[in-house]
Structure 1
């Protein structure tokens, strides 16, 4: 089983049934799953910038998610969506924004 969300149906389920939490640079959607691990999906829209910019943001979000995943409760599908103002955000701003949103949702051990 892959530890990432990849199918459209998986994304649609999290969007429709999951809980939405909005931060300064990110929006996350969280839904309990039936596995003993978390699955992650990252969305960076084309309006944010060219492919180089979008890929840089995705790499930063993947790394912050990887670091935070060790501290999270298992068994959740999490979608991280970038807002338009994310281009100006530093890596640390993304890290603390994501950490704060996950803390709000009470996903930490």
Structure 2
């Protein structure tokens, strides 16, 4: 995923948390906010230390980035999305994480 599609700054994460909407399932939580003047969506990924060691956290982040890259053409352009992984995500493979992410995106009509 290209850098222009990522949220990196803490202020941008906090803005989405404070002003955006959220939705969750057992494995993931998404926060999103509409940004009408934006030409493409942006994604921030957060995996806390409670999930596991660095190897586990980085694997989950890789899976989430890859899942977003697969569905990139379907996602509505004018959104900032922050994804937070929950504890059950550490035992999941790529296909399960993608299915969980797609469930959230469909429920909130971001696709």
One fold, TM greater than 0.5? Answer: yes
| TM-score, normalised relative to structure 1 | 0.94
Root mean square deviation of aligned Cα: 1.2
Q: Structure 2 CA distance, aligned partners of 1:24 and 1:64? A: 17
The aligned length equals 108
Of residues 49, 54, 58, the one that matches 1:51 is 54
The Cα shift of 1:24 comes to: 2.1
Residues 56-79 of structure 1: per-residue CA shift (max 9 Å, x gap): 111001000111121111110000
Structure 2 counterpart of 1:70: 73
Structure 1 counterpart of 2:28: 26
Superposed, which structure 2 residues align to 1:1-109 within 5 Å?
Answer: 2-33=4-35, 34-108=37-111
Residue ranges of structure 2 left out of the alignment (5+ in a row):
none
Residue ranges of structure 1 left out of the alignment (5+ in a row):
none
